[in-house]
Amino acid sequence: MTIRFGILTLSDRSARGEREDASGPAVVRLIQAENWSVTKQALLPDNESAIRAILCEWADSGQLDVILTTGGTGFAVRDVTPEATRAVIDRESPGLAEAMRAASLKITPRAMLSTILPCIRMKTLIINLPGSPKGAVENLQVVISILPHAVQLLQDDPAAESSH
């Protein structure tokens, strides 16, 4: 199954050119290793209205099955990715967040500070990932095996029921 991804990196410093984006490319490599497609990629500063706008644009386009965001999921004042995401979704997916945090807690107690928000807008799964390349990849690896089934369910694919 081919899954179409959008990768959105959220970082003030990377957007200003002060630091190279390392998390976006790390996530892209993992997606491509699964032979899935990265259809859209963008880098934005931590700006809630801009994040909301691009999430709506991408999810509503029908061109993506999954949107992965990296960055803006901590306790810093400018970390607004989950709040921006929550403002535009139809449903949350708490099981994904629970699994990601539980796995991350086995690696670092700092995982308790993560405010990641996996959720759904229309037929698109949106998953907020941490901003560090290591954290983004580790969290994505936790849920990567269920993504094909999640996408099948969101797309009303009759094959989704065959594995039940």
Beta-strand pair 91-92/4-10 = unpaired
- Mean pLDDT, range 79-108, rounded to an integer: 96
Domain ranges of the chain: 4-163
pLDDT for 147 equals: 98
Tokens of 38: 């990265």
Q: Are 68 and 32 in contact (CB under 8 A)?
A: no
Q: What percent of the chain has pLDDT over 70?
A: 99
* pLDDT digits 0-9 by tens, 20-40: 999 999 999 999 999 999 999
pLDDT for 106 equals: 97
Name the residue among 96, 134, 132 with its Cα closest to residue 117: 96
Beta-strand pair 119-121/124-129 = antiparallel
Name the residue among 123, 115, 113, 49 with its Cα closest to residue 82: 115
> If one looks up domain 4-163 in CATH, what number appears?
3.40.980.10
pLDDT band, very low/low/confident/very high, at 133 (cuts 50, 70, 90): very high
pLDDT for 159 equals: 81
Length of the chain counted residue by residue: 164
Q: Is the model's pLDDT at 62 over the cut of 70?
A: yes
Name the residue among 137, 41, 48, 132 with its Cα closest to residue 85: 48
Q: What percent of the chain has pLDDT over 90?
A: 92
